[in-house]
Chain A
Amino acid sequence: MADARPPLEIAKPGLATTVQDLGRPGYYHLGIPLSGAMDREALVAANLLVGNHEGDAALEAVFLGPEIRFAGDATVAVTGADLPPRLDGAEQPGWAAFPVRAGQVLSFGYLKAGARAYIAVAGGLDVPVVLGSRSTYALGALGGHEGRALRAGDRIGVGAPRRPPPAGAALPDALRRRAEPVLRVLPGLYDHRVTAEARERFFADTWKVAPEADRIGYRFRGGRPLDFVPREPPFGAGSDPSNIVDSGYPYGSVQVPGGTEPIVLHRDAVSGGGYFMIGTVIAADMDLIGQLQPHQPMRFARVDMAQALAARRESAERLARVRAALA
C-alpha cells in the first residue's frame, strides 16, 4: 500500500501471535491449507469496527496477549476471546473501536474466556500478499510476517485507513459470539470402521481439549476408546485398525488415530493422510473450536445434512446482522 502509516512495534510477542486474514483458498490440493483466522466471524467484526474491509489482515493472539507500541496514531478493535485490552495500562472495551495515539502501548490482561483474540488496526496490517493472502502458515513458513509467529522487535506495517474509522463503534452484546463447548458433527465418510456402540459413545462422552491443540488440529482426550470393526487391511492401508488407504482430509474432519484421541483438523490442516475419520465438524461451528481452552470439557453432537445446512444459514444470517450493525 502506498500511503503506509507508522508501524506497530512488537515489544512482547505473546505466545503464538500471527498475522491472519480470511485465508488462502485454492491451494489445498497442493497441500497448502486455507490458514486465516481460526475464528473468522471475530476477525470480520474486528475489521468492520475499525472501518476496514472484512478480510483485511489483523493479529490473532492466542491465550496470551502481545505488547505493542504504536509508532503512529491508530484506531484499534479487539474481538473474539475475552482478553482485556489495555492502553498504557488503562482497560479498554472489547468488541469496540478505540483510538490509540502515537507512542502508546497496547497490552492485555489475563485471558478470561475463549482462547483467541483478534486485534484489528484501521488500514489493516500491511505484510506481503502471498498466493492471494496475508495469512501466516507457520508450518510452511508462508505469508504473514516472514512466515512465522511474531517475535519481540518485529515491526509490522499498517496500511492507509480506507475510510475515517467510526469513532466509538461497538458491536451489540447479542452479536458477540462466544465459545460453546458443543461441536456439531456430520458423521462419515469412514465411521463404518468403528462399531455402532463406539459411534454412540463418541457422541455421548465428555471430552477435554488437549493442551497440544493448535491451528493445525484440535486434539481431545478423556472419552472412551473406540472399538473397530475387524477387517483384513486393504492394500495400501496400514495394519492399525484406524488406518485407511490414504485419503483427502476435509477441514473439520475428525480423525481418531488408534481410536483414542480425536483430532479436528483446522485452518492449517494437513491435506491428506491415512487415518479414518468418524465425521466432520460442520462449517457453522468451525469458528467455535479456536475459542476452546486447554482442559475445557466439551462434547460432539451428531447432526444430519439438513441440520448442518440450517446451521450454516443461521451463521450467515448472524454475520449479516454483524455487518448491518457496523455498516
Chain B
Amino acid sequence: MALKTVHAPLPGTFYRSPTPGEPPFKAENDAVAVGDTVGLIEVMKTFTPVTAEEAGILKAFHVGNEDAVMAGQPLYDLEEG
C-alpha cells in the first residue's frame, strides 16, 4: 500500500474539529473519501476546508489541533486504496 503525504495548501492555523469541543473531522485510521473534510485552515478570518482529493485510510497526522502551518507543510499521511 502506497503511503502518500498530503500538504497544507495555504498557511494559517490548522483545526481538526468544526468547532472547539466537537469531535474531530477525522481520527487516525479513519477511512477518507474524495471530498471529505479532514480539517480547517484559518487565515484572514476565513476558514478554508482541507478536503481530500484522494480516497484511502488516514494513517497519521503530522500537525496537531490549532498548530500553525505553512503552505506546503505535511498535514497527514494517506494510505491509498
Residues of A within 8 A of B43 (CB): 15, 63, 211, 294
B78 to chain A, nearest CB (A): 17
Asked whether, in the complex, the Cβ of B68 is within 8 Å of the Cβ of A63, the reply is no
The answer to whether A212 touches B10, judged by C-beta atoms less than 8 angstroms apart, is no
Tell me whether A45 is interfacial, beta carbon within 8 Å. Answer: no
Q: Which residues of A are found within 8 Å of B46, using beta-carbon distances?
A: 15-16
| Tally of contact residues, B, Cβ under 8 A | 17
Task: Evaluate contact between B72 and A211: CB separation under 8 angstroms.
Answer: no
The distance in angstroms between the C-alpha atoms of A212 and B7, with both chains bound, is: 22
In the complex with contacts A111-B11, A294-B12, A214-B44 CB distance below 8 A: yes
CB contact under 8 A between A110 and B71, given known A16-B46, A211-B42: yes
Pick the contact of A111: B13, B44, B68, B72 (CB < 8 A): B72
Does A64 lie within 8 Å of B9, measured CB to CB? yes
Query: Of B9, B11, B42, B45, which is within 8 A of A293 by CB?
Result: B11
Q: Is A254 an interface residue (CB 8 A)?
A: no
Contact A294 B13 (CB under 8 A): yes
The 8 Å CB contact of A211, one of B7, B9, B44, is: B44
A294 touches B11 (CB 8 A): yes
Q: Which of B26-81 contact A (CB under 8 A)?
A: 42-46, 48, 68, 70-72
Contact of B11 with A112 in the complex, beta carbons under 8 Å: no
- Check A211–B13 contact: CB distance below 8 A: yes
State A294–B46 Cα separation when bound (angstroms): 13
Interface string of A293-307 (1 = CB under 8 A from B): 111000000000000
Selected contact of B71 from candidates A16, A111, A211, A213, CB within 8 Å: A111
Instruction: Quote the shortest CB–CB distance from B40 to chain A (angstroms).
Output: 12
Output the nearest chain B residue to A110 by Cβ-Cβ distance.
B72
Q: Is A106 an interface residue (CB 8 A)?
A: no
Q: How far is the CB of B62 from chain A (nearest CB, A)?
A: 15
Annotate B1-37 by CB proximity to A: 1 below 8 A, 0 otherwise: 0000001111111000000000000000000000000
A62 at the interface (CB under 8 A from B): yes
Are A110 and B44 in contact, CB atoms less than 8 angstroms apart?
no
Contacts of B68 in A (CB 8 A): 294-295
Contact of A211 with B12 at beta-carbon distance under 8 Å, contacts A64-B71, A294-B43 already known:
yes
A110 in contact with B48 given A64-B71, A211-B42, A294-B13 (CB within 8 Å):
no
Collect the chain B residues with CB atoms within 8 Å of residue A64's CB: 9-10, 48, 71
- In the bound complex, residues from chain A placing their C-beta under 8 Å from that of B71 are 63-64, 110-112
Query: In the assembled complex, which residues on chain A have CB atoms less than 8 Å from the CB atom of B48?
Result: 15, 64
Residues of B within 8 A of A63 (CB): 10-12, 43-44, 71
Indicate if the CB atoms of A110 and B7 lie closer than 8 Å: yes
Closest to B48 in A: A15
Among candidates B8, B9, B42, B72, residue contacting A112 with C-beta atoms closer than 8 Å: B72
Residue in contact with A212 in the complex, picked from B8, B45, B70, CB distance below 8 Å: B45
Q: Give, as a whole number of angstroms, the nearest-CB distance from B30 to chain A.
A: 25
Q: A64-B71, A293-B70 are in contact. Are A111 and B10 (CB under 8 A)?
A: yes
Measured in the bound complex, the distance between the Cα atoms of B11 and A180 in whole Å is 18
Distance, CA A62 to CA B12, complexed state (A): 12
With A and B bound together, what is the CA distance between A62 and B71 in angstroms? 12
Shortest CB-to-CB span from A240 to chain B, Å, is 23
Ordered by A's residue number, 5 sampled pairs between the chains whose C-beta atoms are within 8 Å are A64-B9, A64-B10, A212-B44, A214-B45, A294-B11
6 A-B pairs besides A63-B10, A64-B9, A64-B48 with CB distance below 8 A are A112-B72, A211-B44, A214-B44, A214-B45, A293-B70, A294-B68
Residues of B whose CB lies within 8 Å of any CB of A are 7-13, 42-46, 48, 68, 70-72
Binding site for B on A (CB under 8 A): 15-16, 62-64, 110-112, 211-214, 293-295
Smallest CB-CB A-B distances: 6 pairs: A110-B72, A111-B71, A295-B68, A64-B10, A63-B10, A214-B44
